[in-house]
């Protein structure tokens, strides 16, 4: 998996004194390139509007949380932009039916564009079937298809228009900035990502809320630690681009 740490966008500082305040600092010094880091220069992201639309990116590259303590809440929106267009997907599936079974739920690999079942076509190699799409459940990407002949088997083909799904998750850093250590092992339980599998229209940008909240009775030994949030396309095969935002936490 190719990993990208975006740099040169915005540094966000959160200073906690009973509440959260934020102030952007521009620009960010470009970090040294490493074997696991491909840096994207600021000019390649900020200066060219077309490139902003046609590249997939996240922002900010770095978030700093200062004066933090257990029981406090720090939150920030990360912005994710999808460069992908709507795609046509073709899936073939082997489906067997039981006695009296005429309706079957079929899981799709990708999110159905606009949840529009009128643009979905299904065909069967069994001439006893008369298939039609009855409904779609976006949460688990499931089509309900009716018209199956009971006690039969067949190969069905599904053709549909798809949008892009991203996966956003907590991540242990590959490396840390000087003066910081990797976050405590339990930090994954302290980070809340409000939408971990957002679905994007073509060229859409979304803001995803990330919250850091440590239980009040927690003892944190290290005073400066780092974690990442990772963004990657979901269900697109084994070779993917992963983009990460650094979170730098300074405890009181």
Instruction: Please give the model's pTM, rounded to 2 decimal places.
Output: 0.77
Check whether residue 115 and residue 48 sit in a common domain. Answer: no
Check whether residue 247 and residue 176 sit in a common domain. Answer: yes
Res 52: pLDDT:
78
Residue 193: CATH number of its domain: 2.60.40.10
State which of 134, 162, 190 marks the end of a domain: 162
Task: Extract the runs of DSSP E, i.e. beta strands, from the chain.
Answer: 2-5, 11-16, 20-25, 57-59, 62-68, 73-81, 87-96, 104-107, 121-124, 132-137, 142-146, 153-162, 164-171, 181-182, 191-193, 199-200, 205-213, 224-233, 241-251
State which of 113, 138, 162 marks the end of a domain: 162
* Helix residue ranges, H only, 20-161: 42-46, 49-54
Check whether residue 96 and residue 48 sit in a common domain. Answer: no
Check whether residue 145 and residue 220 sit in a common domain. Answer: no
Count the neighbouring beta carbons within 10 Å of the beta carbon of residue 18. Answer: 7
Check whether residue 176 and residue 155 sit in a common domain. Answer: no
Res 14: pLDDT:
52
Check whether residue 218 and residue 238 sit in a common domain. Answer: yes
Res 67: pLDDT:
94
Check whether residue 143 and residue 190 sit in a common domain. Answer: no
Res 42: pLDDT:
40
State which of 131, 162, 193 marks the end of a domain: 162
Asked if 84 and 56 touch (Cβ cutoff 8 Å), the reply is: yes
Binned at pLDDT 50, 70 and 90, residue 53 comes out as: confident
Binned at pLDDT 50, 70 and 90, residue 222 comes out as: very high
Q: What is the mean pLDDT of residues 148-166?
A: 97
pLDDT for residue 105 is more than 90: yes
Check whether residue 79 and residue 178 sit in a common domain. Answer: yes
Mean pLDDT for the chain overall? 84
Check whether residue 36 and residue 127 sit in a common domain. Answer: no
Res 10: pLDDT:
38
pLDDT for residue 125 is more than 80: yes
Q: How far apart are CA 153 and CA 117, in angstroms?
A: 24
Check whether residue 59 and residue 137 sit in a common domain. Answer: no
Check whether residue 76 and residue 172 sit in a common domain. Answer: yes
pLDDT for residue 216 is more than 60: yes
Check whether residue 242 and residue 173 sit in a common domain. Answer: yes
Q: What is the mean pLDDT of residues 12-34?
A: 39
User: Any idea which of 12-21, 89-98, 102-111, 190-199 has the lowest mean pLDDT?
Assistant: 12-21
Count up the domains in the chain and report the number. 2
Domain that holds residue 80: 2-84+164-251
């Amino acid at each position: 998996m190719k990993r990208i740490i975006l740099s040169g966008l915005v540094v966000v500082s959160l200073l906690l004194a009973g509440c959260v305040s934020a102030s952007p600092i521009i620009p960010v010094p470009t970090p040294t390139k490493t074997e696991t880091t491909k840096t994207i220069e600021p000019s390649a992201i900020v200066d060219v509007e077309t490139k902003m639309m046609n590249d997939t990116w996240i922002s900010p590259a770095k978030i700093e949380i200062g004066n933090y303590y257990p029981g406090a809440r720090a939150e920030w929106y990360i912005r994710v932009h999808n460069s992908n267009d709507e795609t046509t997907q073709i899936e073939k599936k082997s489906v067997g039916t039981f006695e009296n079974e005429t309706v079957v739920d079929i899981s799709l690999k990708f999110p159905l564009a606009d949840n529009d079942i009128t643009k979905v076509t299904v065909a069967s190699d069994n001439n006893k079937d008369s298939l039609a799409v009855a409904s779609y459940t976006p949460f688990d990407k499931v089509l309900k298809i009716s018209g199956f002949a009971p006690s039969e088997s067949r190969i069905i083909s599904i053709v549909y228009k798809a949008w892009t799904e991203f996966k956003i998750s907590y991540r242990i850093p590959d490396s840390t900035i000087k003066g910081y250590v990797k976050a405590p092992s339990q930090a994954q339980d302290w980070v809340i990502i409000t939408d971990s599998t957002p679905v994007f229209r073509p060229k859409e940008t979304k803001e995803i809320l990330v919250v850091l909240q440590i239980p009040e009775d927690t003892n944190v030994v290290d005073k400066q630690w780092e974690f990442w949030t990772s963004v990657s396309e979901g269900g697109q095969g084994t070779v993917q681009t992963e983009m990460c935002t650094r979170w730098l936490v300074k405890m009181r």
